[in-house]
Chains A and B, each alone.
Chain A
Amino acid sequence: MDTVEKLRDFIASELYKKGTPEELTPDYPLFEHHIVDSLGLLVLISFMEEQFGVVFEDDELTPGNFATIDAMARLIERKRVPSPDWREEGGSGAWRYPSSVMWS
């Protein structure tokens, strides 16, 4: 499952119990349409950090970063791109993250 699908399934099952996952297109405005509220934002942050191994800074909690599933997926991808120093030598090309990046 890719990032967008994981986000959509989580939102549909945990935050949008009245609707169906199909309604939640990647560009659907989640806050404007009251799928997610200000407390739901915190639930999402917990989920995203745990699921995708990223840590958000306080100033990254902007409407631009969380308005849609697409925006959140893009934020996760940006957070996951490590600096070149961390590239695994001779590996499969996958990135490896030092634990300090995960939880500091």
Chain B
Amino acid sequence: MAIPKQCDVVVIGGGPAGSVVAALLRQKQYDVVLLERKKHPRYAVGESLIPHFWKYCDAIGVGDAIRAEGFVRKSGGTLVWHNVIRQLAFRDFGYTEPALHVERDRFDQILLEHARHSGVQIFEEVSVSSVDLDGGERPRVMYRTPDGAETGEVACRFVVDASGQGALIAKQLGTRVIDEGFRFMSVWGYFDGGKYVAGDGRAYDIEHLGTVLPQTFVSSVGGLGEWGWAWHIPLRKSTSVGLVLPVEHLKKIKATDEGLREYFLRKCSEIPYLGRLLEQARLIDGSIHMVRDYSYRSAQLAGPGFFLIGDAAAFIDPIFSIGVVMGMYSASVAVWAIDHSFRNPRQTTRNQAIFASQFRARLEVSRSLALPRYRGIGEAADLARQAIQFESLMEQELMYVVSVVTTRTDNFHEIAERRDGQKLVSTRFRELQDIVF
């Protein structure tokens, strides 16, 4: 099948945000071309999903295919923050279906295949080189095949950039800025064997994953103040373990004779409980990854002829596993704005303004919960305050608990208060004296 010369909407990128935006646009009968640089299944990090993602999957009709896949189901989170152990369970906040730990190569592939079956014209191993936005009149997306043998362009009414951390349009426009609040680097890898933590506060051998639901384990990293944390995410065949550290650490690692692998293993073993979970585990050869300076956002989220969604718009500290949900949320709002704009072209600017402010508000909520210290000043903070009031009281309690378990309640209260002016609190979590091994 040849890549069409024109369509209604071109989606750049076939990750979760791209697949959801494309499938939702197809539901509304738009003619959608999706260009994906790689061939699925392809590797991606970010395996922990909060249960909010289900509603987006059900909206495009892929929920049952994901249920049938048999991904690891999890009951909530166990967080060890400055030696205090706290647990939360999603069912305590009205979520009847467990959240998941997913191998992202497979999860993303299921979503993309679903978009294809919905009628999206999907072309893999096609790189977008640039976008000529043409002032929003008739944007053209320029592409080439990997060997460079074939080049071409697709003309459309709207381009949705879901290119992930490639952030194609933001880089092209020069609107991508590093978030100075998060000067982090991350090192992660995959382990065979070992143990995991369940909702009863006990550690189980990895063989029990199917019978005793795990939790996502997160710990602060000692000696770094409020900075630095670690994740432990059991998957079907391995466990994803990673460290998020101040970027200055990179220099320290480079300055020593200790290699990255040795540094990573030593650091993991030194973290209370994480070290014990990994005692009998083996780091899989060649599974270490590293990235630096990864928190950024685009100063502009939409403009003439384009929308930025998911990681192509912004990437925040992944501590609360919100990335995939943010991608799907922004995809849904973009579809609302695109659909409205096709029907009432004169309202396009207004629709894009609504998309941008709604999305920006939720990004700021995530940012406020992830930063060690957040000052709720400025327009973005005001938007975040509004966004929280559009959440249910139960969801606000969940946000509060998430801020409790990482000792960031001051941040939460910078942007949230009850209608009566009192501070919103919740007791839907528990403290443990110990994790039982």
Interface residues of A (CB under 8 A from B): 31-34, 37-39, 41-42, 45-46, 55, 57-59, 61-63, 66-67, 103-104
Q: Provide the residues of chain A in CB contact with B336, threshold 8 Å.
A: 39, 42, 46
Q: Choose, from B140-148, B233-241, B387-395, the stretch at the interface.
A: B387-395
Residue pair A38, B346 in contact (C-beta under 8 Å)? no
Question: Can you give 18 A-B contacts (C-beta < 8 A)?
Answer: A31-B391, A33-B392, A33-B393, A34-B393, A37-B391, A38-B358, A38-B362, A41-B390, A42-B333, A42-B336, A45-B354, A55-B347, A58-B350, A58-B354, A58-B357, A61-B354, A61-B357, A66-B390
Size class of B's contact patch? Answer: 20 to 34
> Is B300 engaged at the interface, CB distance under 8 Å to the other chain?
no
Residue pair B392, A34 in contact (C-beta under 8 Å)? yes
Closest 8 CB pairs of A and B: A34-B392, A63-B389, A58-B353, A42-B336, A32-B393, A38-B390, A58-B354, A31-B390
Distance from B263 Cβ to chain A, minimum over Cβ atoms (Å):
42
Instruction: State the CA gap A58–B350 with chains docked (Å).
Output: 7
Instruction: State the CA gap A58–B387 with chains docked (Å).
Output: 13
Interface residues of B (CB under 8 A from A): 94, 329, 332-333, 336, 340, 344, 346-347, 350, 353-354, 357-358, 362, 386-387, 389-395
Instruction: State the CA gap A37–B362 with chains docked (Å).
Output: 13
Q: Which of B336, B344, B354 has the most CB of A within 10 A?
A: B354
Residue pair B387, A38 in contact (C-beta under 8 Å)? yes
Distance from A61 Cβ to chain B, minimum over Cβ atoms (Å):
7
Q: Nearest residue in B to A63 (C-beta to C-beta)?
A: B389
Residue pair B386, A63 in contact (C-beta under 8 Å)? yes
Q: Provide the residues of chain B in CB contact with A38, threshold 8 Å.
A: 329, 358, 362, 387, 390-391
Q: Nearest residue in B to A59 (C-beta to C-beta)?
A: B357
Residue pair B395, A104 in contact (C-beta under 8 Å)? no
Instruction: State the CA gap A37–B396 with chains docked (Å).
Output: 12
Distance from B365 Cβ to chain A, minimum over Cβ atoms (Å):
11
Instruction: State the CA gap A94–B135 with chains docked (Å).
Output: 41
Instruction: State the CA gap A59–B94 with chains docked (Å).
Output: 31
Distance from B43 Cβ to chain A, minimum over Cβ atoms (Å):
30
Instruction: State the CA gap A66–B386 with chains docked (Å).
Output: 11
Residue pair B340, A39 in contact (C-beta under 8 Å)? no
